[in-house]
Amino acid sequence: MSVEPPSSDRPTGPPSGPLSGPSQPPSGPPSQPPSGGGGAPEPGGPGPQRPWWRSAPRIAAITAVVVAAVILAVVLSRGDGDGGTGQSGEVFLQAADKTGPDPFTESTANDSSAPPATPSPPTGSTSSNQLRGVDGGAPGLYGGTRNTAACDVEKQVDYLRSAPDKNKAFASVARVEAADVPAYLRSLTPVQLRLDTRVTNHGYVDGAATSYQAVLQAGTAVLVDDRGEPRVRCACGNPLTQPVAQQGTLKRTGDSWPSYRSSDVVVVTPSQTVINVFVIYDAAADEWVARHRGDDGDKDRKTDRPAKPTPSVSASTPTTPTTPESSTPETATSEPTTSEPPTTEPETPDTSTPPPPPEEDTATTSQSAPTEAATPSPEL
């Protein structure tokens, strides 16, 4: 027996109702179209029913819902910006003698060998969501060699002058006009960090400045402004700004050094007064030096040992910046992904014996750290 195809006026898709009836196809076309199928509806009866997939409004509505769900999923999965590190919540440890990623210029550091200091215990209690802040005007916060600039400022000026695009990107981070970059650099003071310090570092990629959170090793040559804040890392010419807060657990990557302790990392808060003279420690000569703001060391002179040879730190409640720049100061307790050999804590300069008689006039006009507690800083 041959099986004839169904009549052309029958629906070719699945029926709108539940499947029922004989399992075998009919032997021929029906004498009348089924109810709800093709043909005119019976008077007073229900109108023709169309399969749901043939309804254009329903298809459009379902498509819109699916597209909206996909877009929402993409947005939620992106999260906040990663600060140029490729991963949100990442902090990059940078050794003093290494250039690091995406440098603005070649190194202009003259020396990156100052031994680290151990900061004094913080005033008040600390917790995992608090950082150790130190005032930018604190005597002994920075080190260096007497009559020797930690950075070659004129070389830095020349590097940026020869690369207008980099100069423009540098100016955008420093918030100065491109033409004012040389004067800006010359207003800064070359010193060396004595504490592992958290900053926002800015690299140069594809004609623009990027940003990422970094911990700079003690001994790093930097240029600091008149409030004592690090503004340029001399090993790469990168501009620096304050660290910023970020959600999530931080992952530490990059370099490692024996003296690194996450609990010893500090952030420099701006001095409440302009610093005319920095009191820095010359470890090689075991002496204290007064260095004038913006001077390259030519006017250095010996000065008295400060009452507190290592800067005091204070616990600060983390704050979230109003305008994000990048990733955040650290709250994580995990150590760097690179291994660290065991070591003892670095020693502070000896203060048990009085300083040797001064060889020169020891009077300074240094504006040291105010007695008030340090300004609250973003969480590390």
CA 299 to centroid of chain Cα atoms: 36
Contact 279, 140 (CB under 8 A): yes
- In DSSP terms, 266 is beta-bridged to 132, 197
More confident of the two residues 123 and 182: 182
- Cβ contacts of 323 within 8 Å, gap of 6 or more: none
pTM of the model: 0.63
pLDDT in tens, 151-200: 999 999 999 999 999 999 999 999 999 999 999 999 999 999 999 999 99
pLDDT mean across residues, the chain = 72
Q: Please compute, for residue 224, the number of CA atoms within 13 A of its CA located in the half-sphere on the CB side.
A: 36
Residues 6+ apart with CB under 8 A from 64: none
List Cβ neighbours of 373 (8 Å cut-off, separation of 6 or more): 123, 314
58 in Cβ contact with 35 (< 8 Å): no
Q: Which of 135-139, 274-278, 286-290, 353-357 has the lowest mean pLDDT?
A: 353-357
User: Pick from 225, 227, 204, 229: which is nearest to 216 by CA?
Assistant: 229
Beta bridge partners of 221: 192
More confident residue, 310 or 32: 310
- The helix/strand/coil state of 232 is strand
Higher pLDDT, 196 or 335: 196
Give the pLDDT confidence score for residue 22 in this predicted structure: 47
Between 125 and 199, the higher pLDDT residue: 199
pLDDT beyond 80 at 130: no
- In DSSP notation, 146-159 reads TTB-SB-HHHHHHH
**Between 81 and 258, where is the model more confident?**
258
